[in-house]
Structure 1
Amino acid sequence: MNRVLAPTASAPLIRREVAGLPGYDPGADPDEVAVLSGSRRVIKLSNSEIPYGVSPAVAEAVRLGIADGFARYPDPTGKRLTDAIGKSLDVPADRIVLGNGSENILELLCQAVLDPGDLVITQAPGFSLHEIFPRVMGARVEKVPVTAEFGFDAAAWRDALAAGPKLVFLANPCNPTGAMLGAGELDRVVAGTPESALLVLDEAYGEFARPDPEYPDGLEALRTLDRPWIVLRTFSKAYGLAGLRIGYGIASDAALVRALDRVRTPYNVNRPAQDAAVAALGDHAHLADTVRRTGLEIARVTDRLRAAGLRVVPSSTNFLFIDTGHPSDRVAWELHRAGIIVKAWREPGYENHIRASLSTPEDNDVFVRCLTEICAKDRS
C-alpha cells in the first residue's frame, strides 16, 4: 500500500509532506483473499497476532465492563492502569503514558518533539511508522542498515548518531527482522546518542525476547540516566489484546508525559482496553505460557524452512523474516491463492523478503508446505 495521494480538488490544501507519504501496509484483506483462494478459512500471518486467546481474567474483565455499559467516557488519565504498570515496574505513575497502541505514542512523540527539518535516526529494515510519523512533521529520516547477516552495525550507528539527531527510534527486538540487540550493542547506541536527543526504545516485542539471558531490559538500562528517554511497550502482541489497541510508555521524567498529554486526544484509550490491560498485567502464567509456546513454534518453523533452503533471520519475536529469493509481491500473491496472508516487504534492498507471524502448529505447517512449494517451483 505505497500509494501516493492522487490529484483532487482538495490537493492544494494538503501539506507537501503528507502528499508524498507512503501508505501504511496492514497486509491483504482476509475477505478478498478468501474469494481469491476459494478457501473457507484464511490463515492470517501478516499482523503479529497471537493465536492462543486472551487470559481468562481479561475475558472476565471485559465481560464485566460490558455489563456496566458503554455510555460513560473512559478515565482520560487511565489512573487504574498507570498505577498498576507503575507498581509492576517500580516507576512513578506520572511517568507513564497510555496510547491507542504503542504506535499512537510514536505519533504523539513526533507531534510534541519534532520541528520541520529535524533529523530522526532509525533502523533499516524497520517499522514503517518510525519513518512515516516523523515525515508528517517535516522531519528528515535517516536509516541505519543492518549488516549482511542482519546484525548490529556499530560503526554505522556511531556515524549516524554523530550527525546530531533530535529523535532516535530503536526497536529491540527489531521489526521486521525479529533480531535483538544484546546489552553491549544497546549500550553503544545509548552512549552514542547526543544527550540533547530523545531516545525512544520500542520494545513492542520485548516479552518474547525476555527469557533470553542476552536480551537487555531497556528500562533497567535507561532507568538511572539523566537524559531524555522513553521505553515503549504494548499489550497488542504477547498479551494478545491487538483488537483493543492499548500500549504504554515509561518516560525519563513526568515533564515528557505532560508534553505528550498536551497533544493526545483526552480519551485515546477506551474503557474495555484499560480494564483488559489491568487484568492481563496480573496474569503472569498466561503470558509465560504464550511466550513459551511461541518460542517453540519459532524454533520449529525456522528449522523446517532452513532445511528447505530458505534463509531465515534468527527471531526473538513471534514472526519470521524470510528471504524467499524471489520478489516478495509475487510470493505473497501465490500464498494468497493458497489462502495464506503474509507481509510482503518492499523496503529497498529487502524486496525478496516476507514477514510471517506464526499461528497454531497446524496453520504453520500449512504455511511451511505452501511457501516451500512456491519457492521450489520458482527454482525449477
Structure 2
Amino acid sequence: MSFIDGVRAEVRSLPAYNAGLSSDLVRTRYGVSHIAKLGSNENPRGASALVLAHLAKWTSAASLALYPDPSCSVLRAKIAEKLDAAPEQLLFGNGSEDLLAIAAHTFLAPGDEVVTVVPSFGLHIIYPQSVGAKVITVPMRADLEFDVDALIAAISPNTRMLIVSNPSNPVGCAMNASEMRRLLSAVSPNTLVLWDEAYFEYAAGEAGYPDSLAVLRESGLPWLLLRTFSKAYGLAGLRVGYGVASTPELAGLMERIRTPFNINQIAQEAAAVAFDDQSHVMASVEGTRVEREQMRAALEALGITPARSLANFLFFDCGEDAAALAARMLADGVIVKPWREAGYETCMRVSTGSAADNAMFIESYKRRRAAA
C-alpha cells in the first residue's frame, strides 16, 4: 500500500471545491482584452477610497518584518461595539471559510451528523466530511426557497451541527424571522447552529430579512454567526472573515484550533478602515440591487426565471448543461459559475457586476446559448 493509500478515506474521497477561474487565466487562454468576472460574487466597486489611501501608506519594511496582532484587537473592538457583543465572543478567520474549517475541526468527530441545504456553498459539505462527519442534505423547494418543514424533519437529537447560509449561497433567497424561529425551535441544545451570513450587508435592508443575531440570541442554543469582508466591503483579496459565538467559552474552543496569526496585519488594518466606511458599503449595496434587478429583467425577457435573491448574484436554470454553456462563454471573456451538485447541473450562478460587465454577460449568454 502506498503512502497516499494510507491517507484517511474521508480525505481521499472529498470533491475538489470549485473556486472558479481567474481573469488572467481566461485572458491568456482566450486572447480577450476585457474580462467580465461574474463567477465569484465580488464587489465591482472594489475597496473604498479610504482603504486604498490607508494601504498606500504601507511602505515600512520594518512593519512587514513583525508578526501581526494575533487578537485582531482594533478590529475586534470595533465589531464588538457595533454588534453589542463581548469581545471574547468574536473570532477572526482568513475569510469566513477559514472559520467554517475551524468549526468543523473543533466541534465534529467521525460519524457526527450534520444537516445542511442543497444547492449549497460547497465547503458547508466538504469541511464536515473532511473530519468524517455524515452530512444530510435537504433540497430546496421547487421554487428555490428554503424548505423549512423538510429541514425540521431532517433534524434529530443526533444532529451535531446545522449549517444554513442566509441569504442562501448559491440561490440568494432568505428565511424571514418567523421561519428562522420555527426552524430553531426544532433544534436540540446539543446541536451547534452555524448561521452563515456572508451576504448580510446586501440583505439587511430588504423587507422581511431577519435580525439573525437577535433571533439566535433569543434561541438559547449554541450558535456561531459568520460574516465576511470579502463581499460588500470589497476586500476579497485580503481574506478577512469574522464570527460571533453564542458564548466566550464556545469561541475559546475554536481559538485552540485557529492558527495564531491567521489574519495578516495589512488585512486587519484595511478591514478596520473598511468597517468604519459604511457609506461605501451602502453605495455598493444600492448599486448592486439596481444592477441585479436589471439583469433579472434581461434574463426574464429571454424566458429565464431567476430565483428570488437578496444577495449580489442570480441563480437560474438555463435548460442545458450549465458547465458546457459556461465554457463557451469564456471565449467572450465572460466568467460565470455553473453549478455541479447532483440535480442542479443545468443551473448557473452569475454575480452582479458593473453595468458594462452585466451587459457583456447577457450578450454572451444569448450568443452562446443560441450557438449550442
1:4 alignment counterpart: none
Match of 2:330 among 303, 312, 336: 336
Distance 1:115 1:162 in 2: 17
Please give the alpha-carbon distance, in whole angstroms, between the structure 2 residues aligned to 1:291 and 1:180. 17
RMSD: 1.4
CA distance in 1 between counterparts of 2:219 and 2:59 reads 42
2:209 pairs with 1:251: no
**Equivalent position amino acid for 1:368 in 2:** I
**Which of 90, 105, 108 is the equivalent residue of 2:102?**
108
> Which stretch shifts more, 248-257 or 367-376?
367-376
Aligned length: 371
Range that drifts further, 137-146 or 311-320: 311-320
Note the 1:95-134 alignment, pairs <5 A.
95-134=89-128
Structure 1 counterpart of 2:307, from 313, 318, 321? 313
TM-superposition CA deviations, 1:163-191 (whole Å, max 9, x none): 63101101000000111111111112211
1:69 aligns with 2:87: no
Cα distance between partner residues in 2 of 1:343 and 1:163: 36
Structure 1: stretches of 5+ with no match in the other structure? 1-7
Q: Which residue of 1 aligns with 2:52?
A: 59
Q: Does the residue aligned with 2:185 lie in a helix, a strand or coil?
A: helix
Match of 2:39 in 1: 46
Q: How does 1:330-369 map to 2 (within 5 A)?
A: 330-369=324-363
Q: Secondary structure at the residue paired with 1:237? A: coil
Judge conservation of contact 2:92–2:243 (CA < 8 Å) in 1. Answer: yes
TM-score computed with the length of structure 1 as normaliser: 0.95
Counterparts in 2 of 1:149 and 1:138: CA distance versus 1, 3 Å: same
Matched residue, 1:303: 297
Instruction: Output aligned runs, 1:203-222, within 5 Å.
Output: 203-222=197-216
Match of 1:231 in 2: 225
Name which of 301, 318, 321 aligns with 1:327.
Answer: 321
State the alpha-carbon separation in 1 of the partners of residues 157 and 140 from structure 2: 18
Q: Report the Cα offset of residue 160 of structure 1.
A: 0.6
Change in 2 beyond 3 A, CA 1:66/1:222: farther
Give the Cα–Cα distance (whole angstroms) in 1 for the partners of residues 187 and 236 of structure 2.
32
The alpha carbon displacement at 1:29 in A equals 3.9
CA distance in 2, matches of 1:252, 1:65: 36
SS of the residue corresponding to residue 64 of structure 2 reads coil
In the alignment, does 2:266 pair up with 1:272? yes
Q: Deviations over 1:114-146 (max 9, x none)?
A: 010000011100100000000010000011111
Could you tell me whether the CA contact under 8 Å between 1:152 and 1:185 is conserved in 2? no
Equivalents in 2 of 1:364, 1:210: separation in Å? Answer: 24
Q: What SS is found at the alignment partner of 1:320?
A: strand
Matched, 1:26 2:19: yes
Range that drifts further, 215-224 or 93-102: 215-224
* Aligned residue number for residue 185 of structure 1: 179
SS in 2 for 1:144: strand
Q: Quick one: distance in 1 between partners of 2:207 and 2:149?
A: 25
- What is the alpha-carbon distance in structure 2 between the residues aligned to residue 37 and residue 314 of structure 1? 33
Task: Give the aligned partner of residue 82 of structure 2.
Answer: 88
User: Identity of paired residues, percent?
Assistant: 38
The AA in structure 2 aligned to 1:52 is R
Tell me how far apart the structure 1 counterparts of residues 83 and 134 of structure 2 sit (CA, whole Å): 34
